[in-house]
Copies of this chain bind each other. A is one copy, B any other.
Amino acid sequence: MFMRIDRLQIELPTPEEADPNAAAALQELLGGKYGEMSTLSNYLFQSFNFRSKSKLRPFYSLVANITAEELGHVELVSNGVALLNNGPPEEDDTADGGDISGAPYEAMKDVRLAAAFFSNAGGAMPMNSNGASWNMDFVTTTGNVIMDLLHNFHLECGARLHKLRVYETLTDPTGREVCGYLLVRGGVHAHAYALAIKKLTGVAIENMLPVPNINLDKIPESQKYLEEGSHRRLYRFSTDDYKEMAGIWGKGEKALPGDPPGELEVVDGPPDGGKIPELEGAPSAFTPDYAPEEMFEIASKLYKKSR
């Protein structure tokens, strides 16, 4: 089972302006082959299909727990996409009596993924930066523990490469913050799978890291997370379970050479995180709907009733 907390894993800055093509770029990190839908779904289905869970508990716990973090990554990138598509809060003067007949969204027909406006009003979707759907071809769950861990290690390396490239195309602080944070966390996951492989096979595959061969000190947006030691922490996203992963990620294991030094640690519970961004409605795009006042009033009454 899963529980939900109404917080993002980090606080996201407000975008400076709407930039649908930047949002489309960020979609690569959501629904691309090496995006968060892929990391999430690989680990989710691997954890469901895991064999001999009781006998391989530390390995099962590692995969099962990272799954929960990936849900939050999907949430984080999705919020980034929605923010970049919609930009900072704006007055929408077409609401309630305004005139929508003057092609108020003419600009939308020229953005790279125009269907994101027509179908989703700029919301995030499980697709890549070319608009191609995420699908099960991106999921590997073989039941063979070595094969699955090796796959996951390669997946996190691929994810890091794509995050770096997306980062290099973005100027808006919202998208850059998403990348800066996920680069740190993706590094943790690559490191963790490497350690799991080493425990089982003896191959010191973590010595290959980082892939690509660039340290995160080159990425300004990653610094505050490195400083707080995020690269050494595996959050345990569970009240009571998955403690056994500390057998793999824990005492005696060190941060990778290019990162700030220190010992690896399992942290009980999620990070503090940041607030879920408020997406302003755009009545002229029928979100939450044209002439929303009545809707807000109903909600206000129901809210009072719920308390």
Q: A50 contacts which of B7, B74, B239, B279 (Cβ < 8 Å)? A: B279
Assess whether A161 is in contact with B147, with CB atoms less than 8 Å apart.
Answer: yes
A152, closest chain B residue (CB) = B154
When distances are taken between beta carbons in the complex, the residues of chain B under 8 Å from A247 are 299, 301-306
When distances are taken between beta carbons in the complex, the residues of chain B under 8 Å from A168 are 100, 103-106, 108, 284-285
In the complex, whether A241 has a CB less than 8 A from a CB of chain B is: yes
Kindly state the separation between the CA atoms of A85 and B48 in the bound complex, as whole angstroms.
Answer: 13
When distances are taken between beta carbons in the complex, the residues of chain B under 8 Å from A305 are 246-247, 250-251
Instruction: Given A103-B168, A288-B51, answer yes or no on A270-B3 (Cβ-Cβ < 8 Å).
Output: yes
In the complex, whether A186 has a CB less than 8 A from a CB of chain B is: no
Instruction: Given A158-B151, A212-B144, answer yes or no on A4-B242 (Cβ-Cβ < 8 Å).
Output: yes
When distances are taken between beta carbons in the complex, the residues of chain B under 8 Å from A212 are 144, 146-147, 286, 289-290
**Identical copies in the complex:** 6
When distances are taken between beta carbons in the complex, the residues of chain B under 8 Å from A109 are 21-22, 24-25, 169-170
When distances are taken between beta carbons in the complex, the residues of chain B under 8 Å from A137 are 33, 133, 135, 137-138
Assess whether B146 is in contact with A289, with CB atoms less than 8 Å apart.
Answer: yes
Kindly state the separation between the CA atoms of A105 and B168 in the bound complex, as whole angstroms.
Answer: 5
In the complex, whether A58 has a CB less than 8 A from a CB of chain B is: yes
A113, closest chain B residue (CB) = B130
In the complex, whether A178 has a CB less than 8 A from a CB of chain B is: no
Query: Across chains A and B, which 9 residue pairs bring their CB atoms closest together, nearest first?
Result: A49-B123, A247-B302, A121-B143, A143-B287, A247-B306, A6-B241, A212-B286, A2-B71, A48-B78
Kindly state the separation between the CA atoms of A90 and B303 in the bound complex, as whole angstroms.
Answer: 53
Assess whether B118 is in contact with A56, with CB atoms less than 8 Å apart.
Answer: no
Which residues of A105-163 have CB atoms within 8 Å of chain B's CB atoms? 105-110, 112-147, 150-151, 153-154, 157-158, 161-162
In the complex, whether A229 has a CB less than 8 A from a CB of chain B is: no
Assess whether A120 is in contact with B143, with CB atoms less than 8 Å apart.
Answer: yes
Instruction: Given A109-B24, A151-B154, A211-B144, answer yes or no on A4-B5 (Cβ-Cβ < 8 Å).
Output: no
When distances are taken between beta carbons in the complex, the residues of chain B under 8 Å from A7 are 1
A269, closest chain B residue (CB) = B3
Instruction: Given A45-B124, A218-B100, answer yes or no on A52-B292 (Cβ-Cβ < 8 Å).
Output: yes
In the complex, whether A184 has a CB less than 8 A from a CB of chain B is: no
Most chain B beta carbons < 10 A, residue from A3, A32, A54, A246? A3
Kindly state the separation between the CA atoms of A157 and B138 in the bound complex, as whole angstroms.
Answer: 17
